[in-house]
């Protein structure tokens, strides 16, 4: 099937007459008539009734025209996608991120990025680090930020940022009088703990054991934002990073440094054996600025 013949048929249907279609397409009317006849021979049915010099679409032509319109809409989308790829390297980014950075680092990076590239479509999901890794490893997502406890096989993992561990306290808690909190200070305290597989949780457990301290774990969660919310509600204390806790400060939560120093370590994940597009690299650069 000749696409030019289909374009001419569409022009006739859209404009109502062969002469008007010829004007729009800047071809002769006989050329339009010939193209319609050739298309009819190819598809095997008549497209127009020819009555007293006029052409009237057949019922089959109306059905065929619906399919043509859907196809041309798809072609328009392809043209738009090609234009985005030409201008930006890609028309969309698919990003996954661990919860702890989804309400602070990621919004700031996206705001700066979209100010320069407002036409790039963003798909974003906040997930557990293990799921972030799976989404990137499978190629469903272009980039991920995850904690360092993940299995790094099947992804390209780059060190991203380290964040100092601090102790989140409910407002008015007795430990607010301390400038620094040590493992022994948390002995017997109601404690909201990170998930057992979290490397920072494991390091903290080791320090507690060495100090002979046994916080009372009342709740476990993989999400730092959940720890902050539970501390704010007065359920207990927990270990968080400052950027996650910022929105809770002076809202029923306070922070104190934890000694000896521990850090949350994060990774930037990319699909293996795939060079980042220009637009993805631009977003990575924006993230790296915030991690510095």
**Statement to judge: residues 148 and 270 lie in one domain:** yes
For 195, residues 6+ apart whose C-beta sits below 8 A from its C-beta are 201, 220, 221, 222
pLDDT value of position 86: 66
Q: Total domain count for the chain?
A: 3
**Statement to judge: residues 114 and 233 lie in one domain:** no
Q: Distance between CA 215 and CA 227 in Å, rounded?
A: 15
Q: Of 37, 65, 88, at which residue does a domain stop?
A: 88
**Statement to judge: residues 182 and 212 lie in one domain:** yes
**Statement to judge: residues 14 and 128 lie in one domain:** no
Q: Distance between CA 4 and CA 92 in Å, rounded?
A: 31
**Statement to judge: residues 83 and 143 lie in one domain:** no
**Statement to judge: residues 62 and 197 lie in one domain:** no
Q: Per residue in 213-233, pLDDT tens?
A: 999 999 999 888 999 999 999
Domain of 204 in residue numbering reads as 163-264
Q: Per residue in 247-282, pLDDT tens?
A: 899 899 999 999 999 999 999 999 998 888 888 999
**Statement to judge: residues 125 and 252 lie in one domain:** no
- The stretch 4-21 carries a mean pLDDT of 89
**Statement to judge: residues 205 and 252 lie in one domain:** yes
Q: Where residue 41 sits, what CATH number does that domain have?
A: 1.10.10.10
Q: Per residue in 64-95, pLDDT tens?
A: 988 888 888 878 777 776 766 666 555 689 99
**Statement to judge: residues 144 and 232 lie in one domain:** no
């Amino acid at each position: 099937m000749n696409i030019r013949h289909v374009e001419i048929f569409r022009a006739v249907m859209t404009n109502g007459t062969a002469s008007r279609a010829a004007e729009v397409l800047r071809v002769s009317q006989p050329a339009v008539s010939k193209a319609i006849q050739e298309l009819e021979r190819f598809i095997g049915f008549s497209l127009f009734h020819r009555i007293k010099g006029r052409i009237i679409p057949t019922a089959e032509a109306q059905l065929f025209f619906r399919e043509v319109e859907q196809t041309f809409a798809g072609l328009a989308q392809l043209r738009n996608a090609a234009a985005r790829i030409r201008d930006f390297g890609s028309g969309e980014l698919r990003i996954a991120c661990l919860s702890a950075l989804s309400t602070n680092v990621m919004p700031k990076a996206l705001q700066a990025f979209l100010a320069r590239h407002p036409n790039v479509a963003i798909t974003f999901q906040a997930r557990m680090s293990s799921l972030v890794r799976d989404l990137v490893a499978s190629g469903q997502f272009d980039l991920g930020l995850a904690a360092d406890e993940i299995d790094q096989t099947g992804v390209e993992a780059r060190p991203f940022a380290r964040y100092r561990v601090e102790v989140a306290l409910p407002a008015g808690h007795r430990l607010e009088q301390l400038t620094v909190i040590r493992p022994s200070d948390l002995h017997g305290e109601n404690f909201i703990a990170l998930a057992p597989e979290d490397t920072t949780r494991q390091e903290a457990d080791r320090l507690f054991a060495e100090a002979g301290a046994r916080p009372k774990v009342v709740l476990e969660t993989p999400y730092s934002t959940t720890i902050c919310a539970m501390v704010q509600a007065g359920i207990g204390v927990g270990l968080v990073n400052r950027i996650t806790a910022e929105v809770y400060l002076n809202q029923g939560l306070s922070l104190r440094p934890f000694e000896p120093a521990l850090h949350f370590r994060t990774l930037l994940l990319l699909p293996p054996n795939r060079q980042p597009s220009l637009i993805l690299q631009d977003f990575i650069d924006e993230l790296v600025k915030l991690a510095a």
